[in-house]
Amino acid sequence: MLLETKGLRKSFGGLRAVFGIDLQVDENEIVSIIGPNGAGKSTLFNLITGHIPADRGAVYFKGKDVTRLPPFKISRLGIGRSFQKLNIFPRLSTFQNVQVASFSAKGLNRSLFSRAENILTEEVEHILESVGLADRAGTLGGLLAHGDQKRLEIGIALALNPELLLLDEPTQGMSPGETSQTTELIHLLVKKRRIGLAFVEHDMKVVFSISDKIYVMHQGMMIFSGKPSEVRSNERVQSIYLGKEKDSASRG
């Protein structure tokens, strides 16, 4: 098992954000986490990557307990992530955004006097191509269109050569065209690199089209998990989540 969480818990004040979550992600597997706003999905990611400390429970990555490690160490072990809110380096070029992550992955960012612009260029270009940003390489990250910035986030995460990728709403705010493009891209990445992927998503079309397994969260608890077909036919899930989602989707 690539990633395993056991009984993860986190409260903010009196609010139970995450309450006893067991999550499992295997390599070459796409896992999606769905649930209404405030269900604790992003908090779960933050607990896994060490962004916030867990109250209880444990996170195992490749069998190793990583629960108390700081984010940079967890990241170095091979967990890449993207964020729900855009989180790039705005005043670095698209190319440099990815390159700086590559430096880190290769342990090159201690190099004091070599010329950065000539290092790892091929690898970075390759990553930019795979996320469809090759022609925007010279543009400042902050000046990219929203969808491009979302893809750049994936590019930054990929530069770390992760074995596990956590994407928080990778298609949020994208046009239908961009969404299907990005969905395809994510699917391809996982199959090609044989990595594990867990992602949070509100777009049910995306979720059902590529997920191997779906976890449904509600008020900090995991209320159901299973294959897409099982989730679709589960009445409880439908009543608290899918139904509402369909309504809001049709309302636009």
Partner 1 sequence: MEGIKAKPSWLHGRALRAILMSIVLALLIALPALISKSWLNITIEILIMALAACSLNLMLGYTGMVSFGPAGLYAVGAYTTAILLTKLKMNIVPAMIAAPIMAAIIGWAVGWVCVRRTKVYFALLTLAFSQIIWTIIFEWYAVTGGDDGIVSIPTPEFFFSIANSYYFCLALVGCCIFALWRIVNSPFGRTLQAIRENPDRVEFIGVNLKRYQLAAFVLSSIFLGIAGSLYCVFSGSAFPDYAHWTKSTDMLVMCLLGGIYHFSGPLAGSAVYTILAKTLSKHTMQWNLILGVAIVLLVLLMRNGVVGFVSEKVFRKK
Contacts of 41 (CB under 8 A, 6+ apart): 33, 34, 35, 168, 200, 217
CB 81 within 8 A of CB 167: yes
Q: What is the smallest separation between the CB atom of 196 and partner 1, expressed in angstroms?
A: 17
Tell me the two tokens of residue 63. Answer: 């069998």
Beta strands at 164-168 and 196-200: parallel, antiparallel or unpaired:
parallel
Site for partner 1 in 144-163 (CB under 8 A): 156, 159-160
Q: Which of residues 35 and 141 has its CB atom nearest to partner 1 in the complex?
A: 141
Out of 13, 14, 37, 113, which residue is the one contacting partner 1 (CB under 8 A)? 113
Least distance in Å: CB of 16 to partner 1?
A: 25
The DSSP 8-state label assigned to residue 136 in this structure reads G
Count CA atoms within 13 Å of residue 169 on its CB side: 17
Only one of the segments 34-42, 52-60, 65-73, 239-247 lies at the binding site for partner 1 (rule: CB under 8 A); that segment is 65-73
Tell whether residue 84 is a contact of partner 1 (CB under 8 A). no
- Using a 10 angstrom Cβ sphere, with 0-12 exposed, 13-18 middle and 19 or more buried, the burial of residue 37 is exposed
Candidate segments 18-26, 85-93, 186-194, 231-239, binder of partner 1 by CB under 8 A: 85-93
Does residue 127 bind partner 1 (CB under 8 A)? no
Query: In this structure, what are the phi and psi dihedrals at residue 249, rounded to the nearest 5 degrees?
Result: -65, -40
Residue type, 122: E
Please report whether residue 121 would count as binding partner 1 according to CB under 8 A: yes
Applying CB under 8 A, the span of 8-16, 24-32, 101-109, 209-217 interacting with partner 1 comes to 101-109
- Sign of the CA dihedral running 108, 46, 31, 130: negative
Considering beta carbons, is residue 193 or 232 the nearer one to partner 1? 193
Window contacting partner 1 (CB under 8 A); options: 53-61, 110-118, 218-226, 228-236: 110-118
C-beta closer to partner 1: residue 168 or 201: 168
Read off the tokens for 35. Answer: 């649930």
Q: Does 130 bind partner 1 (CB under 8 A)?
A: no
Number of H helices, E strands in the chain: 10, 10
Q: Give the footprint of partner 1 on this chain (CB under 8 A).
A: 49, 51, 70-73, 75-76, 80-81, 83, 87-96, 99-101, 103-105, 108-117, 119, 121, 124-125, 134-138, 156, 159-160
